Structure 1
Amino acid sequence: MNKWILKTGLWVFLCSAIQGWAQTKTWTLRECVDYALKNNISIKQSELDLQNGRVAKKDAIGNFLPTLNASASHSWNIGLNQNITTGLLENQTIQFTSAGLNSSVAIYNGLQNMNQLKRARLTILAAQYQLNKMQDDVALNVANSYLQILFNKENLKVQQEQLVNDEKQLLRASEMVKSGMIPRGDLLDAEATVAADRQRVIAAQNTLFLSKLSLAQLLQLDDFRNFDIAEANYEPSLSPTLAESPETIVKKALGERVELKIARTNLEAADRDLKISKGALQPSINGFYSFSTRASNQRRISSFTVDPNNPTNTIGFVPSTGEAVLAPNFIPIQGNPLPYFDQFSQFKGNSFGVQMSIPILNGFRSSNAVTRARIALERARTNEKQTALDLERTVYTAITDAKGALQAYESAQTALNARKLAFEYAKERFNVGLSNSFELSQAQTLYTNAQSELVRTKYDYIFKVKVVEFYFGIPIVEKL
């Protein structure tokens, strides 16, 4: 009995421990990014586009292979059919069976097959680049949401500390009112300040919950209410990337970012499309081979015999004597049809040859296709230039934003130190009765706002530095 109780207790303890671990599971940035890369719908769609490109490549390879098709048919011909013996039409039912095998191969078609294969390879490459871009975008969004949660957590701590300090100040004010050091109005101001602090704490809690919900939805988690991230204290530091010149960062981005690779690949694909459309204007040469055979259940002429009713026929006269020349008058004798397999062997036939097709006039379809391909090529060329300009502008903007965020963070540090000293000074004056609670509350509010601003600029700088490093080729989660 004691052993059973011991085993039961151990089992309950293990289940409780596992359940507690599941409820307190926290996510690191690496786990969030990895999970998003595996489950994001946009990434899955890009993966399907990549699979579709691989199928298109198989189609292009298949164009080089000969076609081979088999055919077979069996029919019933019911009605008036000619009697092969009498030559008269009679009501008959005749069955026919035929079979065939056809093959053809493209010998020359303006190099369209070759260009289609090269274009299919470019399509796969573009789809892979697009998948990489989608993964980068998702990782960047996850990192931004993750840092937003960290900011909201620290901001909540600031508001909670403000509430605790104001509650202590409220107790202090209550004691000072009882001792007659300050008027009752200062106590009412302190109570209003505490009430406002509680509202700000509730607002910060709601903001934190919404930021968690946003990241959970980005990860497509069902249990978003229990979702939480791991506690981490990321301190901003000077990034070596920002020490690089903007021109160096832009040059590396232009050489490595997939946005420009996608545009260049699309340009090469458009060039292949133009070559394919031009190939349709050239003559095409195809080789072909055909095999066929047939069989039926129609009765056949098996032999001939002399007509007993008219055994001879006059086929001419001797010129000198006028004597008639007679010949036997044969009539056909019907027999059963040959066996099916014998007929298939007897009536088989083969044909093969080479066919040339020269496009002369087809309603301007081929020439219009060439014109459209030229337009698409020019559009792809301008798109490549625009993509390069957009990427260059984006990188310069990211560098400027990161440097501005660093300056804002440094200014926030300076402002926080000043507001802290001002608050301590205001508190000292209030404690000795040289200032009222309103002045103290104002100083403390400014100090709290400075704390929140420091937290905001801190994570704003961290994220914007990660964006610059991202364009410089450093992964999102590295160093975080």
Structure 2
Amino acid sequence: MQRQQVELSAELVKDRQNEHLPRVAASGRYAYLGGLVAYTPHAWLQNPEQVAVPASPHAVRVGLEADWEVYTGGRLKNQIASQVANEVLETERLTLTASDVRLRVATAYLDVQRNREYRALTANNVKESERRLVQIRSLYKNGVVLRSDLLRAELQLSQQKLLLIEIGNTLILTTQRLNILLGAPEDQAHQLAALSPPPAALGASYPDYLGQAQAQAPELRVAGLQTRLS
């Protein structure tokens, strides 16, 4: 949709530029006049005989018109400049839309990656709690620990298992959202690579990131173009 708007803006720029060109119109007409006769003035008093017209019966007419506005007070120039700025604005909006889609994909990717790591960590905690619960039950049978200690360990294990189920459901939803953004089937699994920032990004400072964002952010360019057009 946004790409079609960019193409429309480009066509409007061409239309405004074509208004500088002269408008030329050509026309032509042909006619055949047959069976014409004429009378010599006052010849009817002497000889009322009709006299044939000696002229050619063919009639041809050709016309050419040209219209060119020599000066319009800068109106066309301003219209062209405004339309060019509008075309650039639509292009920046297209870039902003593409950047927004990439940002959503990256966010969904990070959500999937985070939930996978969280699920693996919680699964390890569940295994550790199960092992510890076995030990506490053995100690409880031997009278080493109290029943409250046993109940506390069982409650902790139950909470961790519920958390593991919740993380699994969240992972399913985030994977579906990532697949929708990528145009893939909702139940498709992804083999996500480990996150490793590029070396160049590790050496940059906050002012560098801020300057890069201000120079390349589509939102700022769109806002500036909207200010120019207003």
When normalised by structure 1's length, the TM-score is 0.36
Match of 1:175 among 111, 132, 138: 138
Residue from 210, 214, 221 that aligns with 1:261? 221
> Per the alignment, do residues 179 and 236 of structure 1 end up closer, same or farther by CA in structure 2, a change over 3 Å counting?
farther
Name the residue aligned to 1:46.
Answer: 2
DSSP-derived class of the 1:121 partner? helix
| Deviation digits for residues 255-308 of structure 1 (CA, Å, limit 9, x no counterpart) | 44333333443444x3xxxxxxxxxxxxxxxxxxxxxxxxxxxxxxxxxxxxxx
Gaps of 5+ in 1: 1-44, 73-97, 271-375, 377-480
Q: What TM-score, normalized by structure 2, do the two folds share?
A: 0.70
In structure 1, distance between residues paired with 2:176 and 2:223:
35
Going from structure 1 to structure 2, the CA distance change for 1:57 and 1:159 (only over 3 Å counts) comes to: same
Stretches of structure 2 lacking an aligned partner (at least 5 in a row):
29-60
Which is strand-richer, 1 or 2?
1
Question: Which position in structure 1 is the counterpart of 2:186?
Answer: 224
Return structure 1 stretches of 4+ with deviation > 6 angstroms: 98-101, 235-238
SS in 2 for 1:107: coil
RMSD (Å), alpha carbons: 3.5
AA aligned opposite 2:92: Y
State the partner residue of 1:66: 22
The higher radius of gyration belongs to 1
SS of 2:166's partner is helix
Instruction: Tell me, in whole angstroms, the C-alpha distance in 1 between the residues paired with 2:127 and 2:169.
Output: 19
Change (3 A) 1:130 1:99: same
Q: Deviation string for 1:38-69 (max 9, x for gaps)?
A: xxxxxxx3222211111111111221223345
Matches within 5 A, 1:396-407: none
**2:70 is paired with a residue of what secondary structure?**
strand
**Structure 2 counterparts to residues 15-26 of structure 1, below 5 A:** none
Mapped partners of 2:106, 2:197: distance in 1:
15
CA distance in 1, matches of 2:198, 2:84: 44
In structure 2, C-alpha distance between the alignment counterparts of 1:235 and 1:109, rounded to whole Å: 57
Pair 110,227 (structure 1): closer, same or farther in 2 beyond 3 Å: farther
For residues 202 and 259 of structure 1, what CA distance do their matches in structure 2 show?
40
Distance 1:260 1:182, change over 3 A: closer
1:162 alignment partner in structure 2:
125
Measured after TM superposition, the shift of residue 209 of structure 1 is: 1.3
SS of 2:21's partner is coil
Q: How far apart, in 1, do the equivalents of 2:198 and 2:137 lie?
A: 41
Equivalents in 2 of 1:198, 1:207: separation in Å? 14
Deviation of 1:232 (Å) = 1.5
Question: Counterpart amino acid of 2:222?
Answer: I
Q: 1:127 to 1:104 in 2, by over 3 A?
A: same
Output one character per residue of 1:63-103: Cα deviation in whole Å (capped at 9) or x when no partner.
1223345789xxxxxxxxxxxxxxxxxxxxxxxxx998755
1:390-401 equivalences in 2 (<5 Å)? none
- What is aligned with 2:56? none
State the shift of 1:155 in Å: 0.9
- Alpha-carbon distance change, 259 to 186 in structure 1, aligned in 2, over 3 angstroms: closer
Q: Distance in 2 between matches of 1:171 and 1:220?
A: 47
Say yes or no: does 1:213 pair with 2:176. Answer: yes
* Equivalences for residues 133-282 of structure 1 within 5 A: 133-221=96-184, 223-234=185-196, 239-242=202-205, 244=206, 246=207, 250-268=210-228, 270=229
CA distance in 2: counterparts of 1:197 and 1:128, whole angstroms: 50
Distance change >3 Å, CA 233–CA 176, structure 1 → 2: farther
1:196 aligned counterpart, secondary structure: helix
| CA–CA distance in structure 2, aligned partners of residues 186 and 154 of structure 1 | 30
Question: Structure 1 residues 266 and 174, CA, compared in 2 at 3 Å: closer, same or farther?
Answer: closer
- SS at 1:228 equivalent: coil
Aligned to 2:87, which of 121, 124, 131?
124
State the alpha-carbon separation in 2 of the partners of residues 228 and 161 from structure 1: 22
